[in-house]
Amino acid sequence: MKKGPSKYFEQEAYLQGYRFIAGVDEVGRGCLAGPVIAAAVILPKDHTIQGLNDSKLLSPQKRELLYNEIYKQALAIGLGSMGPDIIDEINILQASMAAMKKAVEALKPQPDFLLVDGNLKNICFIPQKSIPKGDQLSESISAASIVAKVFRDNLMKNYDETYPDYGFAVHKGYPTAFHLEALKAHGISKIHRLTFRGVKSIPSS
């Protein structure tokens, strides 16, 4: 395998007879606010997208360019979201898996095989392979990570207009020093996750 994302896992699945292979990833698990967002992407065998990688390793400008290119070339893209209330109710692991399932269900055509980032298993009944650090190894998972990241970042920028005291446009809900200080100063907003460390001890605004 070449260094960085490749078509290795996709080609392995094609050789087993699968036709529509979706990469699946999520973003926002470690945030204190906002939803967890999952994306599922089916790329064509002969796509020409260059520079795919783990979204966290790309600049915002590069992510935007790749996001647009993925939407131009992908056979299908699905998104799934689980909000803070659901995360608090069923925990972040279950919410992440539920968001992934929703993203897969949104795909048309439906995939017959999944490549799933990380160690999550059995997110739905479709045959699948879990790949630790898959967003750095599989082009399909890389594409999903980029779609999920750009979509969620834009969502948090919109939330910043509603809740301007927290800096969501900058840190996107992650527990930065500024975010933690803003929580202490302004209390909990309606999009904060009440069960998360860093939020639990703060009074509601």
Query: pLDDT per residue over 114-160, tens digit each?
Result: 999 998 888 899 999 999 999 999 999 999 999 999 999 999 999 99
Give the model's pLDDT for residue 1.
Answer: 44
205: confidence class by pLDDT, cuts 50, 70, 90? low
Q: What is the pTM for the complete model shown?
A: 0.95
Q: Which position has the token pair 């360019």?
A: 65
Domains of the chain by residue range: 8-156
Closest CA to 111 of 39, 9, 20: 20
Judge: domain 8-156, CATH 3.30.160.60. Answer: no
Q: Which position has the token pair 């087993």?
A: 16
Closest CA to 92 of 12, 171, 35: 35
100, exposed or middle or buried, with CB in 10 Å at 0-12, 13-18, 19+?
Answer: buried
